[in-house]
Structure 1
């Protein structure tokens, strides 16, 4: 076989023999797709009804929209039949009705453009066989109705699944004549910004997981990794309500995730900017210095983070027990203390408490604050050790130094602090006790 001179994109006709595998064939997928079609058709509402016909229970999904002018688009995979405006705004793929593939379906429609009603019956095997399906004229109100047999399992879950499909849809949905609850996707947002065809809702302390839905596409909610910004005492997340943003696209055919494209990247950038602007409006913050710089790079001018740090408590060997009763404190007259591990810190706490001059003044170091002027000016305990005089010998207990001294009284026991900052100094504080721990006797978070 000789090589072709050119190639072009195309859909193999054999693809139609696999249409039953485009969707998961669940009631939830079916309702989501058909409600979306009704919305695009300009319907004022969607009615879901369980009806009995010839002894068989059917679920009827009816709308009063524009109707379907050409019945052939029903089984034309990839041909949607929507007008230019809908095609521009939503990029419909002509696949939604195939959520019904593999099921017996009856469709009736009357287009407002012609007023000529028609009906078709699609047997379960017709979706893949390509067999001709008769189109019969019928009397039907403007709009479209689709009937599909409903089994006991579907009937049992219908109300719950219908409510889920309707909750964030801009179109009213009724089940057996009763309106299903709808609510704003951005309910509970601290602020909402409308721009570029989307609504950005900013949430304080909203628990967002990567698999949680974060974007609403006219009632279809999908998960997408959106930016979050954390402060020391609060964090910010966002949810998105798409109004008219054709470049933001869902992965076809099932529409359960966003296409990773430039528009989505731009949206993420817009979210970070919106969060920083909201923080700016609040007046004060406790952002990490790196985030503060990022906000400045985005032309959002913020004051430095509030000068607040956690008060120091000595580390404990059991990291499951928590860090004690830490609380935020202002930075006036504070001294930072580095991490020296539970053995040294527990013993140092006794000496510091007895001495008293640093009572209420010691604060946990916080590397996220490095760069702020108020933080960088604070004095800092950068070394902590014990000096021990016993039997004419001076021993040092600190860091990795384990002198192996026997228990008992000593001539001198001092806690020695090395303090850096505007006025560096080395401070000796009489200590009541120093305990030498073997490394293997306590756990380490590292």
Structure 2
């Protein structure tokens, strides 16, 4: 048998038998398709009536458009009698009417050339029964009536209101015109280009909303979003005016077909966002986004010379609130922390350099020369103004005795007390800063749960008291466990605070003071609340004798 040398694609007649499974036949789909057909037919309005029966809803959709010229086209899947102009502008597929497939439907239409009525039963949709074409003496336009399963609690009416919300023609439901709104209402700016109305929105998050309006049929498609660094987020929505190349995936018509027209729309949306940002007093685009903006406008200005002041990060912080951006000056620098211990050490260094009673900001260095530190913003890397700022990291530490020689820790690891602590910082150009401080803390793998595992260095002349040192240890080291079987945050923090206070008192006041501190805190937390108000407990405790005395209540003297 000789094989054919050429073939031509065709639709099998069997496909019509499966038409009721090609379309979902939901109310949304039906109303969207019927309203789109009325619009294409040149209608000035659409009237919908609903009647709730015991076992069904009787729904009628009528328009005053051009009507249907050939009833055969109406029930021919993929075939339509739209004008050449309509075909060129909207690419109608001749499938929308089949959203009614399987439903008992009556269609009446009057055009310039014909007037007819069709009664289509369930079997007729699949080609298993003939459809009688009867005359109709009615108004110019099309009237479609169909039965739909019962829709309780106003669901039918809510569906119609939703479909009509952004439809370009008036929709009358049971004699009352439905409210409608501009799809781009609330936009910062609306830009019209190449057959689209593009609305640019400020701080509207578009992940879960419809973003494209095809003449009332709204779709959710991911369009460009530009997020400025710790500033405004810009998004877009698009209203289709006349874009024949942008088409929908058939038959469902629930997503945009990916082609060059869609790529061009994405570019237009991004250009619209950049055009709006260009009009703002300043911007904080990342360097990457600014590079894209320059393709649209080579004169697009750089991001504002602003950065967030550097702030201390604590080990317990699951997230850190970034301070407001402020303008940078000639004495600005960037400091990058490795961890909470480095951050707390640096914060103490800044405070020590400023001295008591200073009115400088917390992120300012006073000695040996004034400097204002800001946090690193990696998205700005690439901007010349940002890259030329000195970016410091800590590179070395030294503990020194009074004669300048390296101090060696004693046998008591709880109290490393050199005369001086010098920390070295280097920028991206290897320029160094050697800064003195009175405190340095360094972590090891277990110190998040045990303050005794942290290495703490404190100069002999430090004016830190045990309370200050306790807070520094907590800030640098305490990181609560979030395991399901862990104690609550408060319980973990209380236990760690006790241990940190004992460690602080041991460093500054000795072992006996540390022991008393631990006893005092344990007593205050666990026992003191049992002493009746106004009474006094006297306790004497040793290995061979325990004495407890609760003094009687003494009322206050009346003057």
Q: Which residue of 2 aligns with 1:176?
A: 174
Q: Which residue of 2 aligns with 1:205?
A: 203
2:268, 2:408 → 1: CA distance? 59
Q: Which residue of 2 aligns with 1:383?
A: 394
2:184, 2:412 → 1: CA distance? 65
Does the 8 Å contact 2:392/2:428 carry over to 1?
no
Structure 1 318/125 Cα, relative in aligned 2: closer, same or farther at 3 Å? Answer: farther
Does the 8 Å contact 2:53/2:150 carry over to 1?
no
Q: Which residue of 2 aligns with 1:399?
A: none
* CA deviation profile, 1:43-86 (whole Å, cap 9, x unmatched): 11111102489997511111111111111112100001101011
Q: Which residue of 1 aligns with 2:534?
A: none
Helix, strand or coil at the partner of 2:279: helix
The Cα of 1:188 is off from its aligned counterpart by 0.8
Does the 8 Å contact 1:214/1:221 carry over to 2?
yes
The Cα of 1:350 is off from its aligned counterpart by 1.5
The Cα of 1:157 is off from its aligned counterpart by 0.8
Q: Which residue of 1 aligns with 2:290?
A: 292
1:52, 1:365 → 2: CA distance? 65
1:164 to 162, 174, 177: 162
- Does structure 1 residue 329 correspond to structure 2 residue 315? no
* CA deviation profile, 1:324-358 (whole Å, cap 9, x unmatched): 46221111122101131112212221222221252
2:239, 2:233 → 1: CA distance? 21
2:378 to 367, 374, 383: 367
Q: Which residue of 1 aligns with 2:81?
A: 81
1:64, 1:282 → 2: CA distance? 47
Does the 8 Å contact 1:280/1:301 carry over to 2?
no
Give 5+ residue unaligned stretches, structure 1.
397-403
The Cα of 1:298 is off from its aligned counterpart by 2.6
* CA deviation profile, 1:110-151 (whole Å, cap 9, x unmatched): 11x13x421111111211134221000021111111111143
The Cα of 1:384 is off from its aligned counterpart by 5.0
The 5-angstrom pairing of residues 58-69 of structure 1 reads 58-69=58-69
2:332, 2:412 → 1: CA distance? 34
Q: Which residue of 1 aligns with 2:22?
A: 22
Task: Report the more deviating stretch, 418-427 or 93-102.
Answer: 418-427
Does the 8 Å contact 2:336/2:391 carry over to 1?
yes
Does the 8 Å contact 2:55/2:149 carry over to 1?
no
Q: Which residue of 1 aligns with 2:490?
A: none
The Cα of 1:245 is off from its aligned counterpart by 0.4
The Cα of 1:428 is off from its aligned counterpart by 2.2
| TM-score, normalised by the number of residues in structure 2 | 0.73
The 5-angstrom pairing of residues 348-367 of structure 1 reads 348-356=346-354, 358=365, 361-367=372-378
Give 5+ residue unaligned stretches, structure 2.
355-363, 449-478, 482-559
Structure 1 346/31 Cα, relative in aligned 2: closer, same or farther at 3 Å? Answer: same
The Cα of 1:436 is off from its aligned counterpart by 3.1
2:37, 2:435 → 1: CA distance? 78
1:146 to 144, 160, 165: 144
The Cα of 1:316 is off from its aligned counterpart by 2.6
* CA deviation profile, 1:362-393 (whole Å, cap 9, x unmatched): 11111211222221221221225543358975
2:73, 2:247 → 1: CA distance? 22
Structure 1 443/260 Cα, relative in aligned 2: closer, same or farther at 3 Å? Answer: farther
Q: Which residue of 2 aligns with 1:95?
A: 95
Does the 8 Å contact 1:389/1:410 carry over to 2?
no
Task: Report the more deviating stretch, 263-272 or 292-301.
Answer: 292-301
1:73, 1:13 → 2: CA distance? 16
Does the 8 Å contact 1:413/1:433 carry over to 2?
no
Structure 1 174/394 Cα, relative in aligned 2: closer, same or farther at 3 Å? Answer: farther
* Structure whose alpha-carbon radius of gyration is higher: 2
Helix, strand or coil at the partner of 1:35: helix
Structure 1 248/57 Cα, relative in aligned 2: closer, same or farther at 3 Å? Answer: closer
- Does structure 1 residue 428 correspond to structure 2 residue 426? no
Q: Cα RMSD (Å) of the superposition?
A: 2.7
Structure 1 350/437 Cα, relative in aligned 2: closer, same or farther at 3 Å? Answer: farther
Task: Report the more deviating stretch, 63-72 or 283-292.
Answer: 283-292
The Cα of 1:280 is off from its aligned counterpart by 1.6
- For this pair of structures, how many residues does the alignment match? 434
Does the 8 Å contact 1:348/1:415 carry over to 2?
no
Q: Which residue of 2 aligns with 1:224?
A: 221
Task: Report the more deviating stretch, 81-90 or 3-12.
Answer: 3-12
Helix, strand or coil at the partner of 1:282: coil
Q: Which residue of 1 aligns with 2:43?
A: 43
* CA deviation profile, 1:269-309 (whole Å, cap 9, x unmatched): 11111211222222421111122222222334222211111
Does the 8 Å contact 2:57/2:151 carry over to 1?
no
Structure 1 415/349 Cα, relative in aligned 2: closer, same or farther at 3 Å? Answer: farther
Does the 8 Å contact 1:313/1:324 carry over to 2?
no
2:83, 2:25 → 1: CA distance? 27
2:447, 2:35 → 1: CA distance? 64
Does the 8 Å contact 1:390/1:410 carry over to 2?
no
2:391, 2:79 → 1: CA distance? 69
- Does structure 1 residue 215 correspond to structure 2 residue 212? yes
